[in-house]
Chain A
Amino acid sequence: MNEHGYWKAANMNHRGPLKIPSSKGMEHDVISNLPGHIMDKILSKLPIREAVRTSILSRKWRYKWITLPELVFDNHCTLVSSQDQIVIKNKLVSIIDHVLLLHIGPIHRFKLSHRDLLAVSDIDRWVLYLSRSMFKELILEIWKGQRYKLPSSLYSMQHLVHLELFNCFLNPPSTFSGFRCLKSLDLQHITMDQEGFENMIASCPQLERLTLMNFDGFSLLKVNAPKLQFFDTGGIFEDVLFLNTEKLAIASIGLYVNVVSDGYPINGSYTSNLARFCSSLPHVERLEVQNYFLKYLAIGNISGRIPSLCPDLCYLSIRINFIDSDENLAALNLLRSCPNLQELELLARPEDQGDITAVAIFFEEANQWDGRLTFLRHIKVSGISSAAQELDFINFLLSVTPSLERMTVKPASLDRGWELVKELLRFRRASVQAEVVFLDP
């Protein structure tokens, strides 16, 4: 008995060093026993390459990564020093295939944005695979080559909440019934036909954010989105039409061509674009009028008539050609329709052409207006060249802003800086506490 016990102890002693490290390790191994959703959270903060690599750590880690709800394949997911497009492509395709094959559980977000990936048909397969699950966010960015034509399976993703496409060709099938849950749509460098575009916007009833940049295939921006709050666009279009956009709070619109000089047909209707625009965005809070969009707004502008009010507008940024009296008038009318404006930015767009004889009209208009921009506190003017029209506009602004706190003026060059400063000093200010700051270009 005794002997037996001794033997046992000795044996245990002998085995001791073998066993202890592993059991001690297990005791300290807290991370492996964290709940799955926390593990997903930790792993989703790693590049996918590193997350997958954890499968060789230990038995418990073998399949931890495969429930990752977010899969991001970007430039960090491969370590490729090769310049060969085919090598890079094959490798990336094989990685994505395998990750998707091994993955289980829901995928909420899939992002593909690799700078070397062209529009290859392999993407079709992934989109199809994703379309079969309760998939929420898709981001496809094709940085090189031709536009990628999205497969029809994309249009059956009924659970999509966020869709972001770069350099893609969209051609929704006739059976497309819209994305019922889509809240945010970001389309850049895309091609789509007029009908397809109108349909897509109109059939996303939950749409809150819409970004549309550098598109072709359609020229009428018909935006019918009752829940839209954010709209950012920049591109070439003939007309923009808002329907049911009462909720729109932030809008930024840039028209990349000069409507008149490029021979675009002027809207046939007699109503002014500005009036129509203001009436369709009754609750806009922040508005940016970029590139040539003011030119568009000036079309059909009838002097003397104040467009409907935008009482919530507190921030306005306008890109303007001060020499062009039509634009000056449009800007003036726009200002008149936002009585509660707090911040204004005027960015000069230098151009030679402009109807100088019409300056008188602006004065007349401006003098007739007995309103005040009571809440305007900050004004930024930049890129001006000290032309008479620019100074007139500044003079006008200083005279109608009783609460102005600060106006910064930044000329395009210092050529006539002195004269500009002298003029600025002379202008009367409606606000006693206003400071006018001259900034070097």
Chain B
Amino acid sequence: MSEADMAVINPENMKSYIWLKTSDDSIQQVEQEIAMFCPMICQEVITKGMGSSKTYPIALPQRVTPAMLSLILDYCRFHQAPGRSNKERKYFDEKFIRMGTKRLCELTSAADSLQLKPLVDLTSRALARMIEGKTPEEIRDIFHLPDDLTEEEKLEPLKNITDDPRIRLLNRLYARKRKELKQKDKQTNVGTGEERVDDRSVDELLSFINGGNQGVKASKSKKKNKRKKDHQKIGSLNGVTKGIPNGVHSLCSDAASGKQSLLCGLTNNDRSNLPSSSIGLSSICTDIDILAPKTEFDDGDIDDGIDPEMKEKIDREVADFARRLNSDWPERMQEILCLDPDRRVMPVAADGNGIMRK
């Protein structure tokens, strides 16, 4: 006896059930009024007359796996039933979306392919809530995102549309920073020719960020001064580049995320060799704080033919500019972490008080 015969014998069956085929080619029977809650299925039934028997099942989109279908049908079963109060529906929805992020994403995608708008709204709102107020590192953790942007890319300035001499200066300093990065990268590649594993523990790294000096002390105190200078140079460049008054940068500003992105830069094994590992786009604006005490340059560091008087003037402008930018944030200093040429970690001697040293 074929399915069609069955349907003739038992007309209620034909009316109240619909045959659905999921992406793994399995076919299942679903109560019509529940399945029809999905506009995509409803459309197939009405316009194409599909789904009335096992031989003519409605082929669901690829994204609807059997597991997702069963979830979606649970949702439809609850919401298509009449007489539920708004409170009940809300409670159900809240419970319904309590699941892992991976599943939640798959559900969003499946619901979207069935054009089930209320469920797409519900799940995308839930996903948005997971992102809101989190630091980049936390978001990467939640969604298992690879941290595959190089620090240089995170630094990459977005377009500069204003023709402010100060911004031009900042960009010039930034360009030098990029060049330096490139050179350092080359050196690293030539020198070792193999990837290095960063095996420092997170706690160790944390102690740098939070505790400052009591972490690993520089072993060669002879070199210390020179190194300090180097770091200051890098620090000042970092600070300056970060001072670019960029709308998107400011959007990224988040006092809380600054520190987190310092962490993320460091725990990321692949990138930790770069001296700028402490900088993320998100930290850019918080790091503007650093700018103020670091705007002094050594003549030896910058030999671009700017005469001292001019340099002083520019310094003043940059510092002034930084102060104006800084006025948005509470006075707060952040330590920058850099790696010296020996790839040893040491804290940069930032004064940590945000006072101008002029």
Contact = CB atoms under 8 A, between A and B. Distances in A.
Interface of A: 17-18, 22, 24-32, 34-35, 37-38, 41-43, 45-50, 52-62, 77-82, 84, 87, 90-91, 94-99, 101-102
Given A26-B144, A29-B145, A41-B121, 11 more contacts: A30-B143, A31-B127, A31-B145, A53-B252, A56-B280, A58-B145, A81-B328, A82-B327, A91-B250, A98-B247, A99-B251
28 contacts: A18-B195, A18-B269, A25-B146, A26-B146, A29-B143, A30-B106, A30-B143, A32-B145, A38-B120, A38-B124, A45-B124, A45-B128, A52-B248, A53-B251, A53-B252, A55-B281, A56-B149, A56-B280, A57-B145, A58-B146, A58-B149, A61-B145, A82-B328, A87-B328, A94-B162, A95-B251, A98-B247, A102-B158
A84 B105 contact: no
B140 interface: yes
Contacts of A31: 101, 105, 127, 143, 145
Contacts of A55: 248, 281
Shortest 4 CB-CB contacts between residues of A and residues of B? A98-B247, A45-B128, A28-B144, A95-B247
B245 interface: yes
Given A30-B102, A45-B124, A101-B159, A25 B251 contact: no
B230 interface: no
Contacts of B147: 58
Contacts of B280: 56
Interface residues of B, number: 55
Interface in B227-260: 245-248, 250-255, 257
A58 B127 contact: no
B109 A35 contact: yes
Interface string B256-275: 01000100000001100000
B125 interface: yes
A56 B284 CA distance: 11
A101 B146 CA distance: 27
B327 A84 contact: yes
Nearest to B330: A81
Contact of B327 (A37, A56, A87, A94): A87
B277 interface: no
Nearest to B282: A56
Contacts of B250: 78, 91, 94-95
Given A18-B197, A52-B248, A53-B252, A38 B148 contact: no
Contact of A57 (B106, B132, B140, B197): B140
Contacts of B329: 81
Nearest to A79: B253
Contact of A98 (B248, B328, B330): B248
Interface of B: 101-102, 105-106, 108-109, 112, 120-121, 124-125, 127-128, 131-133, 136, 139-140, 143-149, 154, 158-159, 161-162, 195, 197, 245-248, 250-255, 257, 261, 269-270, 280-282, 324, 327-330
Contact of B154 (A18, A56, A84, A102): A56
A59 B281 contact: no
Contacts of A79: 253-255, 328
Nearest to B140: A57
Contact of B105 (A30, A46, A62): A30
B135 to A, nearest CB: 9
A58 B124 contact: no
Contacts, number: 148
B149 A59 contact: yes
Nearest to B162: A94
Contact of A50 (B105, B133, B146, B261): B133
Contacts of A27: 144
A32 B261 CA distance: 20
A98 B145 contact: no
Contacts of A84: 327
A56 B147 CA distance: 9
Most chain B CB within 10 A, of A42, A49, A96, A99, is at A42
Contacts of B105: 30-31, 34
Contacts of B281: 55-56
Contacts of B327: 82, 84, 87
A90 B245 CA distance: 10
B282 A48 contact: no
B328 A91 contact: yes
Contact of A29 (B106, B124, B146, B159): B146
A50 B131 contact: yes
A96 B250 CA distance: 11
B131 A46 contact: yes
A48 to B, nearest CB: 7
A20 to B, nearest CB: 12
A91 B133 CA distance: 21
Contacts of A96: 247
A82 B328 CA distance: 5
B127 A42 contact: yes
A132 B41 CA distance: 38
Contacts of B120: 38, 41
A80 B325 CA distance: 11
A48 B132 CA distance: 10
A37 B120 CA distance: 11
B102 A38 contact: no
A27 B146 CA distance: 10
A67 to B, nearest CB: 15
A31 to B, nearest CB: 5
A91 B251 CA distance: 9
A27 B102 CA distance: 10
A43 B127 CA distance: 9
A96 B246 CA distance: 10
Nearest to B264: A56
A51 to B, nearest CB: 9
Nearest to A28: B144
A47 B129 CA distance: 11
B48 to A, nearest CB: 24
Instruction: Point out which of A48, A90, A94 has the most chain B C-beta atoms below 10 A from its C-beta.
Output: A94
Nearest to A86: B324
A24 B102 CA distance: 13
A58 B141 CA distance: 12
A120 to B, nearest CB: 15
A28 B146 CA distance: 10
* Most A Cβ at <10 Å: residue of B145, B161, B162, B261: B145
A438 to B, nearest CB: 31
B161 A59 contact: no
Given A29-B143, A53-B252, A94-B247, A47 B197 contact: no
Nearest to A58: B145
